[in-house]
Amino acid sequence: MLDIIKNKLKSITGLLIITVLLTSLIPAILNYAFDFYLIYKESINTANEEVVLYAENSLIHINEYFEQSKNVLEIVVKTQDWDNLKEIENYISKIQNIYWNKLFHHIMILNENGTVIISPIHNNISHKNEKINIENLNFKNNEYIITEFHFFKESNHFHPLMIFKIPQKNYYLAAEIELDAFRKIMNNEILTTYILDQNLNGFGIENNELQIIKNISQHGIYQDIKNLKPEQFFCNFYHNHYGVYVYSCALKSQEFPYTLITEIPAEKIFHLMKIQIIRTTIVFFSFRSYHYLYII
């Protein structure tokens, strides 16, 4: 009889332990899952804040750089007698020497076909008689204040061009934008930045060098930013044009015709997330083990 009572007590004790374990384990698992979700959201929010802040700061610096360039070229357009190309060439030569390696490299005058008719010599180089593609440039009502983002390839490098349409003349003023400022702005060990023109052609730092991106249309964000409004952010996870999974944000400039893309590899986000999850898991199981041992 005593043995039967002991066995029943053992059974009841076992059931009690199982019941306590289950009633405490299920909420614990749910709580752990919720902690996992919070870690995930916090990691994404942190990455978003970092990418957005970097993009906003980069946009400010790039706009300031373009603004300086625009102001100098605008003075040339406004103040010169465009019926006297000889005087124009002398004046541009002086401006080119002053701002060489600061804002510009070569400053050129193009005819209506995009052929360079004036290009003052600097470092024994002139681009006279070369051809620049201006077919896709859109100058509304011939306003000289309209600037376009374009690319001009040379033997071993390239330059974005800032181009002005000369009012009431079949001429264009084009200046090669100095790229050192972009290297300083865009160079970051973790974040990658690209600048795209209004036709979504672009360049960025790849292998520590500024390069034109030939396959940017293969970037997952490409289709989503075609109708992006100025000063509006668009962020999401994508596979970029190299197939790397990234968290990417695009921001379009209001002042100038370009879009900035800044991104961080998803692997770096998830790496930090894994570390946090491991810490949470260790704490969770340590606490639960102590709790169960205390109950038993």
DSSP string, 152-196: EE-SS-EEEEEEEEPTTSS-EEEEEEPSHHHHHHH--SS-EEEEE
Domain assignment present for residue 128? The answer is yes
pLDDT above 70: percentage of residues in the chain:
73
- First-to-last CA distance in the chain? 26
149 confidence band (pLDDT: 50, 70, 90) = low
Is residue 183 very low, low, confident or very high in pLDDT (cuts 50, 70, 90)?
Answer: confident
Q: What is the pLDDT of residues 210-269, one digit of tens each?
A: 888 878 889 999 999 988 988 888 999 999 998 999 999 999 998 888 899 999 998 887
pLDDT at 203: 86
Average pLDDT over residues 74-100: 93
Instruction: Of 54-63, 170-179, 280-289, give the lowest mean pLDDT range.
Output: 280-289
Q: How many domains are contained in the chain?
A: 1
Which conformational region is residue 129 in: left (phi greater than 0), alpha (psi within -120 to 50 degrees), or beta? left
Residue 234's alpha-carbon distances to 51, 57, 113, 196, 287, in angstroms, are 11, 16, 37, 15, 41
Q: What is the reported pTM? A: 0.75
Q: Is residue 290 part of a domain?
A: no
Residue 116, both tokens: 């360079």
7 lies in some domain: no
* CATH number reported for the structural domain that contains residue 228 in this entry: 3.30.450.20
* Residues 127 and 119: beta-carbon distance below 8 Å: yes
Element (H, E) at 197: strand 192-197
Does any domain span residue 264? Answer: yes
Residue 32 lies in a domain: no
State the virtual CA torsion across 119, 196, 263, 183 in degrees, nearest 10: 10
11 C-beta neighbours (distance < 10 Å), count: 10
Q: Which amino acid is at 100?
A: W
pLDDT at 132 over 90: no
Place 86 in a pLDDT band, splitting at 50, 70 and 90. Answer: very high
The span from the CA of 46 to the CA of 109, in Å, is 48
DSSP 8-state code for residue 124: T
Q: Of 126, 86, 124, 89, give the one whose Cα is nearest residue 106.
A: 126
Cβ–Cβ < 8 Å for 167, 150: no
Evaluate whether residue 22 is within a structural domain. Answer: no
- Residue 136: which region, alpha, beta or left (left: phi > 0; alpha: psi -120 to 50)? alpha
- Per-residue pLDDT averaged across 109-122, rounded? 94
Q: Which pLDDT value is given to residue 233?
A: 86
Per-residue pLDDT, 1: 52
Q: Is residue 182 part of a domain?
A: yes
Domain that holds residue 220: 45-269
Is residue 185 in some structural domain?
yes
Section 159-171 average pLDDT: 88
pLDDT of residue 283: 47
| pLDDT above 90 coverage of the chain, percent | 37
Which SS3 state, helix, strand or coil, does residue 109 take?
Answer: strand
Cβ pair 264, 47 in contact under 8 A: yes
